[in-house]
Structure 1
Amino acid sequence: MIGVTVTFSYPDGFDRARITEVARNARGMFEGMPGLRFKFFTFDENRKQAVNFYVWESEEKAKRFFSEELRGRVTELYGVAPSVDFVQIAEIVDNAH
């Protein structure tokens, strides 16, 4: 499995309402998405960042999803360009069950 951290940094103009609205509106797009195990929408007001974290079944699916077209769309939605970082996941603990 692979994790992807997508970070939007706001040196000026951090807008919590905008970030939560984007998350609320985008949620349905990710429900049931093939290859995506988890997606978390987060924000950190102290650091002035929105950080989304994804867990994908494969690196191939993750890299295919994060196309230049997608980066352009999320830049428009969030108002700043994101940094995208891929990490290998060694293990997941899921206590939901």
Structure 2
Amino acid sequence: MHTVIVKYPLAEPRSREQMLAAFKAAEGQFASLPGLVRKYFAYDETAHCGHSVYLFTDKASAQAFFGPQFAETMQEKFGAEPEVFGVDTLLVIDGPEA
């Protein structure tokens, strides 16, 4: 497994509701993303910063998604230059609420 964490400070403040609407609009594009196990959409409204966490089956699937087009899309949608880093995921545990 491979985890990718993305942080993207917004060029202009957006409300929680605006970000939720943007996240929901993007939801469908991830439903059939090859190798994606799970994706989290998160937003720190106070800091005006979006965060995403992706869990992929393997590093190659993650690298295929996070090419130059990814940064361009983030710039277009949010006016943000994303910070992206990935790590080898050794173990995943679902809690009792999963």
Q: TM-score category by the smaller chain?
A: 0.7 to 0.9
**Identity across the alignment (%):** 25
Q: Which residue of 1 aligns with 2:90?
A: 90
Structure 1 consecutive aligned stretches of length 4 or more whose deviation exceeds 4 Å: none
Deviates more, 1:29-38 or 1:49-58: 29-38
TM-score normalised per structure 2: 0.86
Amino acid at match of 1:85: F
Pairwise CA RMSD = 1.5
Q: Which residue of 2 aligns with 1:3?
A: 3
**SS of residue in 2 equivalent to 1:87:** strand
- The 5 Å alignment of 1:47-66 reads 47-66=47-66
**SS of residue in 2 equivalent to 1:91:** coil
Structure 2 gap ranges (5+):
none
Structure 1 gap ranges (5+):
none
* Structure 2 Cα separation of the partners of residues 33 and 80 of structure 1: 22
**SS of residue in 1 equivalent to 2:61:** helix
**SS of residue in 2 equivalent to 1:77:** helix
Give 1:71 deviation, angstroms.
Answer: 1.4
C-alpha distance after superposition, 1:36-91 (max 9, x if no partner): 00000001123321001100011011011001012101221112111111112121
Maintained 8 Å contact 1:41/1:52: yes
TM-score normalised per structure 1: 0.87
* Structure 1 Cα separation of the partners of residues 32 and 72 of structure 2: 23
Q: Which residue of 2 aligns with 1:78?
A: 78
Maintained 8 Å contact 1:39/1:52: yes
Q: Give the number of aligned pairs.
A: 95
